[in-house]
Amino acid sequence: METNEGAKELFKLTTLTGYRNNGREHIFPSDASLDWFIRKNRGHLIKNNALLMPTGRKLINQDAFDLAVIEIGKIAAEKYR
């Protein structure tokens, strides 16, 4: 990965509150709801590079997290067919 590509990826990282307040309030109406989702799906989120802790605090890769939310939602919907 080139240096510029790495920098672009870093710009996709945001705090949990920043992610939620960036147009995702309809999915996660509170910080607590986002925290619960992360606790319940932590393994899936880490595996898909959606949740990272490069400095010891949780950061969200916005693009990867959005895709993970959709994928996890599909899995949940399949269970209720």
Query: pLDDT by residue (tens digit) across 21-71?
Result: 999 999 999 999 999 999 999 999 999 999 999 999 999 999 999 999 999
Phi first, then psi, for residue 80 (nearest 5°) are -110, 30
- Reported as a single tens digit per residue, the pLDDT across 50-61 is 999 999 999 999
**Counted domains in the chain:** 1
Q: Report, as an integer, the average pLDDT of 10-16.
A: 90
Question: Residue 71's domain spans which residues?
Answer: 3-79
Which stretches of the chain are assigned E, i.e. beta strand?
Answer: 13-14, 51-52, 59-61
Q: Is there a contact between 16 and 34 (Cβ–Cβ < 8 Å)?
A: yes
Task: Please report, to the nearest 10 degrees, the dihedral formed by the alpha carbons of residues 10, 11, 16, 22 taken in order.
Answer: -160
Confidence label for 5 from pLDDT (cuts 50, 70 and 90): confident
